[in-house]
């Protein structure tokens, strides 16, 4: 239930931001706004502004919204005014994202240092000669301060640019500074069909951990039945000492349901715990505990001016990355399985809210950019489609014929429905483990 509530809160905020962009631009250009609605369908709340005469409404289906303008007012305006009103919606989403990121950069955050664990054998990181304790300083001449930034830079190179290799600058404990190259052609294509974080893991890039800690034990799980508690450190799985959470996860998944003996510590004493992994609906064996690494952290905080600059930069980079990723999907260079639907977005909203205000704000910024990019696509029915019509009008000196615009709207509806179907299919495929 809380996941649904956080999802609806996120949608309401971002729809309000988008439509407020259209509203403010319309008022600036002297266009009467007759109605501003958050949601569709039956009205739950409604009031009329005495000052502007605009009717404000909150409706029962909170999965969108709209601004209804006086059509005669709108059509009477110059081309540049109409284009500005249409553009202002996506622009408002981008401005919101920039300020959200600026807030996060200024508020400061604890992030894992860019210290690497020993890469698994035969991964591209191992082939490139990376070792435990190597500190990544830069990726393709772009500085890196934390493992989160490392992941982000690789996502830019991998998803946005389709890079075949990535050059690092690495400091080794003995004072050497090396420039190893990660050759992505050596990684199976399946590793890149999901999110960039999975691709980074497939490359063998993992933050160095001192031990494995149990972050959360799920209610009714086999881990709870075995006596595991939040905060426990897992020192061994069987006779193997473990320091990386990936090692524990791999041993659990490889167990095929056979009992595993864990050596755990609560900080004062050690004990042996026998746990029997259970297969989920997707066939993957789990014990019902979330584990993480005890990694060295770094506090990163920017002054207000630098935070705003970084917020604008991050918004621009995310927008470009999203456009490039969509372009590569159209060209068949990137899997359509990366498109997420409302189910995945709702889950992410709930998880981010559960991780605190900063995580939820970061989620809002990311989705706000996605809404802006989606609306700027040159698809009739979207803001980008209207801008495409206005470009035609600017070049030819007259608008497209009404019948052509109507045909375009029908094509736009079909494309949006197809995109929605793909997103929903990906959601259910992920749930079913396909």
Same domain, yes or no: 291 and 307: no
Instruction: Give the rounded distance of the alpha carbon of 18 from its chain centre.
Output: 19
pLDDT of residue 190: 42
Give the number of other Cβ atoms within 10 Å of residue 106's Cβ: 17
Residue 3 forms part of a structural domain: no
pLDDT of residue 307: 92
Same domain, yes or no: 96 and 168: no
Helices (H), 156-286: 196-203, 222-226, 245-254
Same domain, yes or no: 281 and 328: no
Residue 28 forms part of a structural domain: no
What separation in angstroms does the CA of 418 have from each of 96, 122, 274, 414?
Answer: 28, 40, 49, 6
End-to-end CA distance of the chain: 26
Per-residue pLDDT 10s for the chain (434 aa) are 666 777 778 888 888 999 999 999 999 999 999 999 888 878 888 888 888 888 998 888 777 888 999 988 988 899 999 999 999 999 999 999 999 999 999 988 888 888 898 888 888 888 889 998 899 999 888 888 888 888 888 877 776 666 778 889 999 977 889 999 888 765 654 444 445 666 787 788 888 888 888 888 888 888 888 888 888 898 888 888 888 888 888 888 888 888 888 888 887 888 898 988 888 877 788 888 888 888 888 888 889 999 999 999 989 988 887 887 777 677 766 666 666 655 555 556 565 656 678 888 888 998 899 889 888 988 888 899 889 989 988 888 888 888 887 887 788 778 777 776 766 666 565 545 55
DSSP 116: B
- pTM (two decimals): 0.77
CATH number at residue 256: 2.30.42.10
Same domain, yes or no: 411 and 331: yes
Residue that has been written with the tokens 């349901």 in this structure: 257
Catalytic residue positions?
19
What angle do the packed helices 79-107 and 357-376 form, to 10 degrees? 160
Per-residue pLDDT tens digits for 207-250: 888 888 888 888 888 888 888 888 889 888 888 888 888 888 88
Q: How many residues does the chain have?
A: 434
Phi, psi for 163 (deg, rounded to 5):
-65, 145
Same domain, yes or no: 165 and 103: no
Q: Of 264, 295, 326, which closes a domain?
A: 295
pLDDT of residue 349: 59
Residue 328 forms part of a structural domain: yes
pLDDT of residue 162: 67
Query: Contact 206/131 with Cβ under 8 angstroms?
Result: no
Q: Which domain holds residue 378?
A: 92-107+301-434
Report the half-sphere exposure of 361 (CA within 13 A, side-chain side): 16
Same domain, yes or no: 305 and 403: yes
pLDDT of residue 194: 46
Residue 51 forms part of a structural domain: no
Same domain, yes or no: 277 and 314: no
Query: Contact 280/253 with Cβ under 8 angstroms?
Result: no
Residue 44 forms part of a structural domain: no
Q: Of 277, 295, 313, which closes a domain?
A: 295
Q: Could you tell me the two tokens for 390?
A: 């206005």
Same domain, yes or no: 336 and 273: no
Same domain, yes or no: 307 and 359: yes
- Distance CA(44)–CA(59), nearest Å, equals 5
Number of domains in the chain: 3
Same domain, yes or no: 101 and 152: no
Q: Of 171, 206, 241, which closes a domain?
A: 206
pLDDT of residue 223: 86
């Amino acid at each position: 239930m809380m996941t649904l509530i956080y999802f609806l809160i996120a949608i309401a905020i971002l729809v309000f931001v988008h439509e407020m962009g259209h509203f403010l631009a319309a008022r600036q250009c002297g266009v009467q706004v007759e109605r501003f609605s958050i949601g569709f369908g039956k009205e739950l709340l409604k009031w009329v502004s005495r000052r502007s005469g605009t009717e404000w409404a909150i409706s029962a289906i909170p999965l969108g919204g709209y601004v209804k303008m006086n059509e005669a007012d709108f059509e009477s305006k110059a081309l540049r005014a109409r284009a500005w009103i249409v553009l202002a919606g996506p622009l408002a989403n981008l401005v919101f994202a920039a300020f959200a990121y600026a807030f996060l950069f200024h508020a400061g955050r604890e992030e894992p240092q860019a210290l690497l664990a020993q890469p698994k054998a035969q991964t591209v990181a191992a082939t490139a000669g990376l070792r435990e304790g190597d500190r990544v300083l830069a990726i393709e001449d772009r500085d890196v301060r934390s493992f989160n930034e490392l992941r982000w830079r690789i996502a830019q190179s991998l998803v946005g640019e389709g890079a075949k290799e990535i050059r690092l600058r690495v400091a080794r404990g003995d004072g050497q500074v090396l420039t190893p190259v990660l050759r992505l052609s050596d990684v199976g294509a399946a590793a890149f069909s999901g999110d960039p974080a999975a691709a980074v893991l497939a490359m063998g890039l993992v933050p160095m951990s001192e031990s494995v800690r149990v972050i959360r034990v799920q209610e009714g799980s086999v881990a709870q039945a075995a006596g595991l508690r939040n905060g426990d450190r897992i020192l061994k799985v069987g006779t193997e000492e473990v320091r990386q959470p990936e090692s524990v996860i791999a041993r659990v998944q490889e167990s095929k349901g056979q009992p595993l003996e864990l050596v755990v510590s609560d900080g004062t004493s050690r004990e042996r715990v026998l746990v029997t992994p259970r297969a989920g609906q997707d066939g993957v064996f789990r014990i019902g505990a979330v584990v993480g690494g005890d990694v060295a952290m770094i506090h990163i905080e920017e002054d207000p001016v630098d935070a705003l600059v970084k917020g604008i930069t991050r918004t621009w980079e995310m927008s470009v990355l999203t456009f490039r990723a969509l372009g590569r999907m159209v060209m068949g260079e990137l899997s359509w399985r990366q498109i997420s639907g409302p189910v995945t977005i709702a889950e992410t909203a709930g998880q981010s809210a559960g991780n605190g205000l900063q995580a939820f704000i970061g989620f809002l910024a990311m989705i706000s950019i996605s809404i802006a990019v989606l609306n700027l696509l040159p698809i009739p029915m979207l803001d980008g489609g209207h801008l495409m019509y206005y470009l035609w009008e600017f070049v030819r000196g007259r608008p497209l014929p009404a019948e052509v615009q109507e045909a375009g709207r029908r094509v736009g509806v079909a494309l949006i429905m197809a995109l929605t179907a793909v997103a929903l299919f990906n959601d259910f495929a992920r749930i079913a483990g396909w």
